[in-house]
Amino acid sequence: MSPSLCPLFTLLPQFHNNTPPTPTDLAQSSTQFKAKSPVWWKTLIRNSIFSSTLISTLVGILSMLLFLLSFIYFSIQSFVFFSLCCFCFRFSFVLMAVYYCIVGTHRGTKILRIDVKREYLLPIR
């Protein structure tokens, strides 16, 4: 194995004369390459796949909690919620009616067209 193919090859302890390594050499090489244990949340944040999964999981959990809290709150105060929905519906209906009246008169069109008077020509016998 050439050093260009494996960069760790050059970092390994070199033993001359093809002699087996002594326990001291093995102990030095194991302490030399010992890495610090990574913090789990830093590893999750550094990895983009896990961080996006983690963020989407947290957003999903928070949205479910918010939904449950709002469901409990509005089930306790259902009358307030129902009246609020009715008010919003009425308000949006009034705004929609006013908007279509303004747009209809501005464009010269009529919202409701009723033809009451119709003339029919009947042949006289």
Q: What is the pLDDT along the chain (125 residues), one digit of tens a residue?
A: 455 555 554 555 555 556 666 777 766 665 555 556 667 667 766 665 555 666 667 777 778 888 877 777 777 776 666 777 777 777 777 777 767 666 655 555 445 555 566 666 666 76
pTM of the model: 0.27
If we measure between CA atoms, which residue out of 58, 31, 30, 33 comes closest to residue 44? Answer: 58
Instruction: State the pLDDT at residue 87.
Output: 74
Instruction: State the pLDDT at residue 24.
Output: 72
* DSSP secondary structure, 24-92, as one string: HHHHHHHHHTPPPPPPHHHHHHHSHHHHHHHHHHHHHHHHHHHHHHHHHHHHHTHHHHHHHHHHHHHHH
**Residue 110 has what DSSP assignment?**
-
